[in-house]
Amino acid sequence: MRLRLKLRSLFLLAVLSSCVIIYSFVGVHFRGHLKLSGDDHKSRRFVAKITASVENVTLPHSWTVTQELVDRLTARRNHVQKVCKKYGLDKPTKTYQPNAWEFLINAKYGLVWCNVFKAASSTWFYNFNLLAGFTEQELLHAKETPIQLARKRYARPTVEDLQQIMNSTRQPLSFLIARHPLQRLVSGYRDKILSGNRYYSKLARNILRQYRDLGKGTEKDKPPGSALIERSNPRAIVPSFPQFVQYLLDESTKGRRLDEHWTPISDFCTPCLVKFDVFAKVETMEEDGNYIIFSAGIHDVIKPKRINRSRNEPTDTVADKFLCQLSPKQMDGLLKLYKYDIELFEYDVSKYVNCTRS
């Protein structure tokens, strides 16, 4: 089948990783600077234009989907199935149904993606926009954010739409991109709260007020090279990570719907109820992304360029700094909240658990 796809046109596709660098696939005629806009659909009011540098990616001479990669992806799929079964998550009920809201379906290329915010989402919105026929020029000069553009061509599907395409004779390639849940949470916190992101400033004020007993908050971060600074919340104090986490846990206990940047993947991609072919991970995205692109046969549409959206230190290297501030009880709360994400996608949290206990 897809083993040993010998690839002549070779694109080594770097796909992004944590916060520091975002690799994006941009078309071949692309020149100059790319403006990445705020990464959520609510950001019309807050358009964070980040000018990023663009580099050509040096491609290897040939590239092969190795048996090892195929085996790794198969093992992940089997593991997800096993965990789903273990918790009875593979059986829908009246109140537990597939959630199609965050899916993008490209019928032409047979590609189905469940968007996980804070997990390579900018890159893949860009890719899906190219697949939808937007030209690079349009994408570069658009006033809308990549997500707003994408949703013009990819209406939010219903569950029936999703089932229909998954069931069609020409089976699509379906995928999601997972990320370490606690690192994803830190990334969401840094990006939306600590940065003083304007869209979240009201929430930030509320958290500060509500959790005064947990301290005075913390000084807002100033990511270098980002236009976020001028347009952001003028207040210098934002909720500390423990305050933010306490808010999150309390909201979750009250059964409130969480913001999509920190909702567990198991809730909005419902990986136990939708047949995913590929569980990619941010941590291994270079290889996983290659597999998706070549398996779906879209390597002619999506040409590789690397966009370096440089910021502070990458999340995975500073995650301890944030997570180790939590109390053991808060850590327990997070382990419960992200229990399925941790198990389904096999993430090791012991490092972070240990440091809250010592």
Whichever of 7 and 159 has its CB closer to ligand NAG, that residue is: 159
Instruction: Give the nearest distance from C-beta 82 to ligand NAG in angstroms.
Output: 23
DSSP annotation string for 273-297 = TS--SEEEEGGGHHHHHHHHHHHTT
Question: Rounded CA gap, 49 and 347, in Å?
Answer: 33
> Residue 275 or residue 339: which is nearer to ligand NAG going by CB?
275
- Residue number, 230 or 348, with CB nearest to ligand NAG: 348
CB of 260 to ligand NAG, least distance (A): 26
Summarize as ranges the residues that interact with ligand NAG (CB under 6 A).
21, 53-56, 163, 167, 308, 310, 350-351, 354
Min separation Cβ 21 and ligand NAG, Å: 5
Nearer to ligand NAG, 27 or 264 (CB): 27
CB of 32 to ligand NAG, least distance (A): 9
Alpha carbons 70 and 245: distance in angstroms, whole number: 37
The amino acid sitting at 319 is A
Phi, then psi, of 74 in degrees rounded to 5: -65, -45
What is the b/e burial string over 163-194, where b = at least 16 CB atoms within 10 angstroms of the residue's CB? bebbeeeeebbbbbbbbbbbbbbbbbbbbbbb
Please state, in angstroms and as integers, the Cα–Cα distance from residue 150 to each residue in 273, 345, 348, following that order. 25, 27, 34
Smallest separation, CB 259 to ligand NAG (Å): 28
The residue among 27 and 242 lying less far from ligand NAG, judged by its C-beta, is 27
Residue 177 — φ and ψ, nearest 5°?
Answer: -115, 115
In the complex with ligand NAG, the residue whose CB is nearer, 171 or 253, is 171
State in angstroms the smallest separation of the CB of 233 from ligand NAG.
25
Q: Which is nearer to ligand NAG, 162 or 280 (CB)?
A: 162
Note whether 36 and 143 are within 8 A (CB): no
Nearest distance, CB of residue 52 and ligand NAG, angstroms: 8
Residue 350, Cβ neighbours under 10 Å: how many? Answer: 7
Looking only at the bridges linking them, the beta strands covering 111-114 and 173-178 are parallel
